[in-house]
């Protein structure tokens, strides 16, 4: 019986100390600049990421959006959409969150190459101007750093309480 109790507590404790990385619930700030970095065209205040969270901008020349979605334990996705009505200037987007650790392009149908990078906790994406009316989309996987979930912390607390109780029985 002692062996079963000890094994059960050990398995519970190992499960409890595991962490998951995810984009949902994190706070992301972003900027959109035309022509050169510095001028800002969309809301830069942090936006808490939930299913379908997005930054948006629209005027007579184009409509831009950047949508974040949570896709799993270690990644989220960023979908950039640029709808050009009659020629557009270059644009430059940045997104900052302390959990960002990497970016990988999944798909891209922009006629000119997008450049993207991550420096520290900031993702940068740049596009050269398009001179025709069209809609282009790029999708990126966003890697995040491990963050303990509240249920994981609670399970760890129960595991520790079980170990203390077993110790007192001796």
> Tens of pLDDT along 45-89?
556 766 667 888 888 878 888 888 877 666 788 999 988 887 666
Q: What is the pLDDT of residue 129?
A: 66
Reported confidence tier of residue 125, pLDDT bands at 50, 70, 90: very high
Is residue 74 domain-shared with residue 155, that is, in the same domain? no
In eight-state DSSP terms, residue 114 is E
pLDDT at 170 exceeding the cut of 80:
no
Q: What is the mean pLDDT of the chain?
A: 74
Total count of domains within the chain:
2
What is the rounded CA–CA span in Å between residue 168 and residue 170?
A: 5
pLDDT at 16 over 50: no
pLDDT band at 116 (very low <50, low <70, confident <90, very high): very high
In this structure, the answer to whether residues 54 and 83 fall within a common structural domain is: yes
What mean pLDDT is predicted for residues 11-33?
59
Q: Looking at the structure, tell me whether residues 72 and 93 fall in a common domain.
A: yes
Domain boundaries, position 35: 27-144
Residue whose token pair is 């790029």: 138
Q: Give every CB contact of residue 139 below 8 A, 6+ residues apart in sequence.
A: 77, 78, 79, 80, 105, 106, 107, 108
Higher-scoring residue by pLDDT: 118, 158? 118
Q: What is the pLDDT of residue 24?
A: 65
The answer on 129 and 96 residing in a single domain is: yes
Give the CB-side neighbour count of residue 32, counting CA atoms within 13 A.
17
* Together in a domain, 45 and 124: yes
Contacts of 170 (CB under 8 A, 6+ apart): none
Are 73 and 57 contained in the same domain?
yes
Per-residue pLDDT for 139 more than 80?
A: yes
- At 33, the pLDDT band (50, 70, 90 cuts) reads confident
pLDDT of residue 38: 60
Higher pLDDT, 23 or 115: 115
Give the CATH number for residue 71: 2.60.40
CA atoms within 13 A on the CB side of 140: 23
Pair (34, 15) in one structural domain: no
Considering the domain architecture, whether residues 87 and 115 belong to the same structural domain is answered as yes
CA angle 89, 90, 93 (to 5 degrees): 125
Residues 123 and 155 in one domain: no
**pLDDT for 115:** 92
Mean pLDDT of 31-51: 66
pTM for the full predicted model: 0.69
C-alpha torsion sign, points 104, 110, 113, 116: negative
């Amino acid at each position: 019986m002692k062996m079963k109790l000890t094994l059960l507590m050990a398995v519970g404790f190992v499960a409890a100390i595991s962490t998951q990385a995810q984009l949902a619930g994190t706070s992301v700030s972003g900027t959109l600049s035309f022509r050169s970095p510095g001028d800002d065209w969309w809301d830069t205040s942090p936006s808490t990421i939930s299913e379908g969270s997005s930054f948006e901008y629209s005027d007579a020349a184009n409509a831009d959006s950047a949508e974040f979605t949570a896709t799993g334990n270690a990644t989220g996705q960023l979908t950039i959409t640029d709808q050009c009505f009659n020629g557009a200037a270059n644009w430059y987007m940045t997104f900052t969150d302390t959990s960002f650790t990497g970016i990988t392009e999944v798909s891209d149908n922009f006629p000119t190459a997008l450049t993207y990078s991550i420096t520290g906790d900031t993702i940068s994406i740049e596009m050269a101007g398009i001179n025709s009316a069209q809609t282009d989309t790029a999708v990126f996987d966003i890697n995040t750093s491990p963050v303990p979930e509240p249920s994981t912390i609670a399970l760890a607390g129960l595991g520790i309480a079980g170990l203390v109780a077993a110790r007192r029985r001796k």
